[in-house]
Copies of this chain bind each other. A is one copy, B any other.
């Protein structure tokens, strides 16, 4: 019998004992120190560290109640999904996700590699750090974790078992509401609209019925199109990074959906970094360097995704009909269309929706923040409304971004 045989919400002082009981990661007589380090919305995250060797491990425990909002209760089972997804992503994109040591279904706790020497990417970006290899790493992660889990590549029966296994009603509901509905029709009165942009948001988002229709179309595609095993929440807060290396984690929103969802999220969040740099950096050389890098990175992510996708498709395609001449181009085209749309939805929802990002809320100059948000919303509408005809290369993104910036 152990006190960890029944679920309870651990406090900092419980976690070291828990790790020692469950794993032989640390020596039995190690002096361990624990700390709560979470800043996500769905879990309690602890670091347990051996004071003498500095070796450490992470324990992530799910609470039944979402920390962000008591009204949204989420199944504790999501840790099981996360552990399985990290295993799959680790198989397809080795070295780009942290290692999982244990998933404990009783305590709803995931014990995993501590990504020492890495910073949460959003924090790094707000400090205007440059990560020269990010486009290279994330484009590999995207192609491998997405294309290899489709039925273009995977056996159709195995893929269907995956679809079934990763149906994720609770977390999907959050995205359906927060990404595809509330930013356009604030029926739950949870949007956070920056006062200086109240009228702008009213006109550009709440009153634009054509935009609502496009959002509705994309919402149903997001809900129904079981294309690939997506991460589902691939913003810069789900990435730990340094100059040499990148880890993608926190895949608890994962399910089968259009791949463009992940790619679009990365693109939108990279542009938030541009906005923060542009609005808050004082040294013009440094600003030029940082902001230039963010735009180069967006361009490279798109272009490297396309290039690596084509190579991987040709190498890995198994479905007979998918080998038909012209299919790869059509399929990639549809992915790029979805990518643009999602870049738009993520941009909008992080600006006016319930869950905002520090890149933008951290701009203390009111005028500059208002301008940044207007650029984001204008660009986002371009992404959504012109997704069918534009946004097929990195250069298309750069052009659209420059056009949106020039308007304000």
Contacts and interface: CB of A to CB of B under 8 A. Distances in A.
Chain A at the B interface: mostly helix, strand, loop or mixed?
Answer: helix
Contacts of A152: 220
A74 to B, nearest CB: 12
A40 interface: no
Nearest to A160: B169
A167 interface: yes
Contact of A156 (B169, B216, B320, B326): B169
A230 to B, nearest CB: 13
A151 B219 CA distance: 11
> Which of A187, A216, A225, A330 counts the most chain B CB atoms within 10 A?
A216
A215 B323 CA distance: 12
Contacts of A217: 327, 330
B151 A224 contact: yes
Contacts of A327: 213, 216-217
Given A320-B187, A325-B209, A331 B169 contact: no
Given A212-B324, A322-B216, A330-B213, A173 B151 contact: no
Nearest to A223: B151
Nearest to A164: B167
Interface size class of A (residues with CB under 8 A): 35 or more
Contact of A172 (B156, B176, B209, B320): B156
Contacts of A320: 181, 185, 187
- 10 tightest A-B contacts by CB? A216-B321, A157-B169, A160-B169, A212-B324, A164-B167, A216-B327, A216-B324, A213-B326, A224-B226, A219-B321
Given A209-B326, A213-B327, 19 more contacts: A151-B220, A151-B223, A152-B220, A157-B170, A160-B167, A160-B169, A160-B172, A164-B164, A180-B321, A212-B325, A216-B322, A216-B324, A216-B327, A217-B327, A219-B319, A219-B321, A224-B227, A225-B225, A225-B226
Interface of A: 151-152, 156-157, 160-161, 163-164, 167-170, 172-173, 176, 180-181, 184-185, 187, 209, 212-213, 215-217, 219-220, 223-227, 319-322, 324-327, 330-331
